[in-house]
Chain A
Amino acid sequence: QVQLLESGPGLVRPSETLSLTCTVSGGSNTSGIFYWSWLRQPPGKGLEWIGDVPDSGNTYYNPSLKSRVAISQDRSKKRFFLTLNSVTTADTAVYFCARSKQWDYGAFEIWGLGTLVTVS
């Protein structure tokens, strides 16, 4: 089945740019459209949706982060990417990538294990 794996630096300096990659593996060529999201969870806190990129169509971002975030994908290599610039300590979190259900695009059916990014 489909698996997701996040990768990237675990430590980012304040004011610099956080860059993460989500690699998609497994699964057969499934027809239909999926949305590929980034979410985050500060230590001991709840979940925040950052944004998503669909198989085709526009990218959407959380308005609270929109000025600092970009999500893109390389479908041929089955990867999608997150960049978050001008980071502060408030951006310290476990970052997850996730795939939506087909048709219920806002329900996150498959998740990566998550990667902790510390801003310090």
Chain B
Amino acid sequence: EVVMTQSPVTLSVSPGERVTLSCRASQSVNINLAWYQQKPGQPPRLLIYAASTRATGVPARFSGSGSGTDFTLTISSLQSEDFAIYYCQQYNNWPPYTFGQGTKLDIK
């Protein structure tokens, strides 16, 4: 099973700041990596797939990069609606698909 590790666990940021979230896989997952955003009481929302492709309707301030074992999600200018938990997920080596433990973005 591929273990996904996200850092940091919590990040306190101010609106307008640029934010970079990290995700590391225990073995190569090529570019088969997705990012999700989850707000309280809601299902996750797909933001990025294939490591760097934005899903339909996702604002351009969200971007993904990386390949192999190291990936990043960048939010260029944080908006108030972006405060949420972000999960990475690999779908290269399955079953099972596996998720990171999440990074929570808090308002500073």
Q: Interface residues, chain A, CB within 8 Å of chain B?
A: 46-49, 51, 60-64, 96, 98, 101, 104-109, 111-114
Against A, the Cβ 8 Å flags (1 = close, 0 = not) of B41-83 are: 0111110011000010000000000000000000000000000
Interface size (B, Cβ < 8 Å)?
Answer: 26
Which residues of the partner chain B approach A46 to less than 8 Å between Cβ atoms? Answer: 87, 99-102
CA distance A113 to B39 in the complex (A): 12
Which residues of the partner chain A approach B36 to less than 8 Å between Cβ atoms? Answer: 47, 108
Please pick, from A47, A62, A108, A112, the residue contacting B95 in the complex, using a CB distance under 8 A.
A62
Whether A49 contacts B98 in the complex (CB less than 8 A), given A104-B50, A107-B34, comes out as yes
User: For the complex, would chain B's binding face be called helix, strand, loop or mixed by DSSP majority?
Assistant: loop
B94 to chain A, nearest CB (A): 6
**Is the C-beta of B28 less than 8 angstroms from some C-beta in chain A?**
no
Are A104 and B91 in contact, with the CB atoms below 8 A?
yes
Task: List 7 A-B pairs, minimum CB-CB distance, nearest first.
Answer: A106-B91, A111-B43, A107-B49, A62-B96, A49-B97, A107-B34, A47-B99
Are A47 and B46 in contact, with the CB atoms below 8 A?
no
Residue of chain A at shortest CB distance from B6 = A46
A116 to chain B, nearest CB (A): 11
Which residues of the partner chain B approach A113 to less than 8 Å between Cβ atoms? Answer: 42-43
